[in-house]
Homo-oligomer: A and B are copies of this chain.
Amino acid sequence: MEKTSCLHFCFISCLVLFIIVGSWYRSSISSLPGYSLQTQKPIYHSAETPHHPLDPLTVKEINRVRTILSSYEPFSFTFPTIHTILLDEPDKVQVLKWRKGDPFPPRKAQVLALLNGQSHVLNVDLDSIRVTSHVINPRSGYPMLSMDDISAASKAPFSNAEFNKSIAARGVSSSELICLPPSAGWFGPNEEGKRVVKVLCFSNQGTPNFYMRPIEGLVMTVDLDTMEVLKFSDTGRDIPIPKSTDTDYWYTAQKKEPQMEPLNPISIEQPKGPSFRVEDGHIVKWANWVFHLKADHRAGLVISRVMVRDSENGELRDVMYKGFASEFFVPYMDLDESWYFKSYMDAGEFGLGMSALPLVPLNDCPRHSYYMDGIFATPDGNPFVQPNMICLFERYAGDISWRHSEGLLTDFQIREARPKVTLVARMAASVGNYDYIFDWEFQTDGLINVKVGLSGMLMVKGSPYHQAPNQDAMSGPLISENLIGVVHDHFVTFHLDMDIDGANNSFVNVNLVKERSLPEESPRKSYLKAKRKIAKTEKDAQIKLKLYDPSEFHMINPSKRSRLGNPTGYKIVPGGTAASLLDHSDPPQLRSAFTNSQIWVTPYNKSEQWAGGLLTYQSRGDDTLAVWSERDRSIENKDIVLWYTLGFHHIPCQEDFPVMPTVTSGFELKPVNFFESNPILRAAPAFEKDLPVCRPSASP
């Protein structure tokens, strides 16, 4: 492990161990501080009260929900398993009119629970202390897997005789096995009506990186409610378990120096401290930005009430009501019995927040970062703290905000340049093997840069090959001896409830169209023309990106005009991306049909937050963004939500073994005629006299 700040690590790891595993985490946790970093005062979550209508449920509130549920009549016999307790956010109109000091709208919780194999969706009013609504099995699908589900399922194989015989035949001891229960997906009626998972196992002999040592072909279908092995399949007895050689990625395990000259220490330094403030636990204020930041069990990180200061009059103006990663679809491209079902929906099945472990100071986030905890519920309805789950830091990367220089044509030598300093909110989810890094980066010019980084381990496949055969025979390249990196995709669908200067917005497709000039009109034969078309209904806004039929995509406020008469707006600027190419009728694609387009726009509807449906796990695609959008509702000059899917095709390579260098892509939300002019025209350059004086190190 890290050598750094051992005490801190011990503290955190004890805390985490205490928090997560099994069901030992009882009430005492809530009196422990969430973090103890140098510059940050510890927060005693047990004493916390909400300060804003969007603040997540506190430890006390989660306890109160549990109390309410305990005395709720339908649960008086058996308390359900709690899969999620989340703030049921007040109606948007209530949040928008709320001002600090005002009484709160009623605090409510949404509870996703499971009882006797049935999904229960409950709303609980914390003020009136009662369950206000309760629906059983509203649609196909179940709440996300709980830590108890995962923990129990990972143990299920060991009491199965076939399994034990199979691993014995491979010469593997059960003590060296680690099993994972990925979702079984949904593939038609055979396994419907049961919460099933597929259990896969790996050997951790000689390495903490068990992912690189799959017991290939061995897969069990397990009923999560009975822990019964419904189906056992072993098609891989002839496939050797890949060796542990060179799989360990721990720093302490590295025997050789890297083949490169060592780097001198380097750090982003702010001797006067960072320029942002976090008020009341969740309100972030920096430069010209104000927003609400919180951890979320499912989305990981939620940014709300994003406002930026007008560059002319200093007024705070609405930009985005709520932004978050709504779903994360990861289909693998292998039809084998032990592979076909690998098409994960990581947010709805496992929870990006649930999978987010504490960030590592100095390595996950730079010095001077501020850390924020997540407060979630355990399967028995108790609160637990996920410490240091989000970090917030100011970023200076040596980039240029704007510049111009001039030499020849004027009498003066112009050398104007401004350094770019930004604010980043970061969260990293470790959904089993993969690590997903989410960055929301705010620029002073009004741009929001959303980035997703992929790191961690590949989901690999054991193979008889030591040497790459004809690649066409395999579902991916050989990336180490006996290891195939199976081709797969990643799609992250973002919910972006843009409210440009207020809730009622329109979506405009600004299409660049080639026009031909008339004969004799010009020596030029062609030119591009930007043609604006306002989307009337949802189907007008189901967009597939096209390099040769390009558009800009604006969210505008048709009622708010700049002094020049341009509607104020923001545009979404895609970066490098990928589209899902699977058959629309293929079960994984049906369930993740929200990836059929890159862009969608829907009317705001509080119940349409999760692109794969509220109950995603084993859903049949009956509650996805694609289904909602097919209703083709009116979206012009309405409170509307923009959805963007960022995609990656991943053909693995040797460099991804045994841990992947981060691959990053993203998109931007960028002001268009939102400001009257460049909002950072008056920004100051950096001056030598203001910069810090540093000496080499803290140690003597």
Does the CB pair B417–A364 fall under 8 Å? yes
Does the CB pair A288–B260 fall under 8 Å? yes
Q: Which of the residues B333, B367, B445 comes within 8 Å of A655, measured between beta carbons?
A: B445
Q: Which of the residues B444, B532, B565, B662 comes within 8 Å of A420, measured between beta carbons?
A: B662
Q: Which of the residues B13, B272, B444, B658 comes within 8 Å of A264, measured between beta carbons?
A: B272
Does the CB pair A403–B437 fall under 8 Å? yes
Does the CB pair A413–B16 fall under 8 Å? yes
Chain B residues positioned under 8 Å from A417 (CB to CB) = 359-360, 363-364
Interface presence of A390 (CB below 8 A): no
Interface presence of A78 (CB below 8 A): no
Chain B residues positioned under 8 Å from A467 (CB to CB) = 564-565
Q: Which of the residues B2, B263, B395 comes within 8 Å of A421, measured between beta carbons?
A: B263
Chain B residues positioned under 8 Å from A675 (CB to CB) = 654-655
Q: Mark A69-101, 1 if CB is under 8 A from B, else 0.
A: 000000000000000000000000000000000
Q: Which of the residues B204, B410, B471, B480 comes within 8 Å of A530, measured between beta carbons?
A: B471
Alpha-carbon distance A653/B400, docked complex (angstroms): 20
Alpha-carbon distance A16/B196, docked complex (angstroms): 73
Among A135-143, A372-380, A683-691, the stretch in contact with B = A683-691
Does the CB pair B268–A268 fall under 8 Å? yes
Chain B residues positioned under 8 Å from A477 (CB to CB) = 530, 566, 673
Q: Mark A388-430, 1 if CB is under 8 A from B, else 0.
A: 0000011111111111111111101111111111001000101
Question: With contacts A259-B311, A697-B689 known, is A661 near B445, CB below 8 A?
Answer: yes
Question: With contacts A251-B416, A257-B682, A340-B523 known, is A699 near B689, CB below 8 A?
Answer: yes
Question: With contacts A364-B403, A413-B16 known, is A566 near B654, CB below 8 A?
Answer: yes
The B-contacting residues of A in range 644-700, CB under 8 angstroms, are 649, 651, 653-662, 664-665, 671-699
State the copy count for this chain: 2
Chain B residues positioned under 8 Å from A264 (CB to CB) = 270, 272-275
Closest chain B residue, CB of each to CB of A336: B522
Question: With contacts A258-B311, A259-B313 known, is A686 near B275, CB below 8 A?
Answer: no
Does the CB pair A178–B271 fall under 8 Å? no
Chain B residues positioned under 8 Å from A359 (CB to CB) = 417
Does the CB pair A697–B693 fall under 8 Å? yes
Among A151, A334, A654, chain B packs the most CB atoms within 10 A around the CB of: A654
Smallest beta-carbon distance A666→chain B, Å? 9
Does the CB pair A261–B249 fall under 8 Å? no
Interface presence of A358 (CB below 8 A): yes
Chain A interface extent, by class: 35 or more
Closest chain B residue, CB of each to CB of A588: B524
Alpha-carbon distance A632/B413, docked complex (angstroms): 48
Smallest beta-carbon distance A372→chain B, Å? 16
Interface presence of A582 (CB below 8 A): yes
Chain B residues positioned under 8 Å from A691 (CB to CB) = 265, 267, 362, 367, 697-698
Does the CB pair A357–B662 fall under 8 Å? no
Among A1, A405, A421, A446, chain B packs the most CB atoms within 10 A around the CB of: A405
Q: Which of the residues B266, B275, B415 comes within 8 Å of A360, measured between beta carbons?
A: B415
Chain B residues positioned under 8 Å from A365 (CB to CB) = 398
Among A52-60, A295-303, A453-461, the stretch in contact with B = A453-461
Closest chain B residue, CB of each to CB of A488: B528
Does the CB pair A654–B573 fall under 8 Å? no
Interface presence of A40 (CB below 8 A): no
Q: Which of the residues B261, B409, B548 comes within 8 Å of A287, measured between beta carbons?
A: B261
Chain B residues positioned under 8 Å from A521 (CB to CB) = 335
Does the CB pair A260–B524 fall under 8 Å? no
Chain B residues positioned under 8 Å from A406 (CB to CB) = 208, 357, 430
Among A228-236, A512-520, A620-628, the stretch in contact with B = A512-520
Does the CB pair B400–A662 fall under 8 Å? yes
Question: With contacts A414-B208, A477-B566 known, is A582 near B527, CB below 8 A?
Answer: yes
Interface presence of A529 (CB below 8 A): yes
Question: 4 closest Cβ contacts across the A-B interface?
Answer: A397-B397, A187-B523, A260-B288, A363-B417
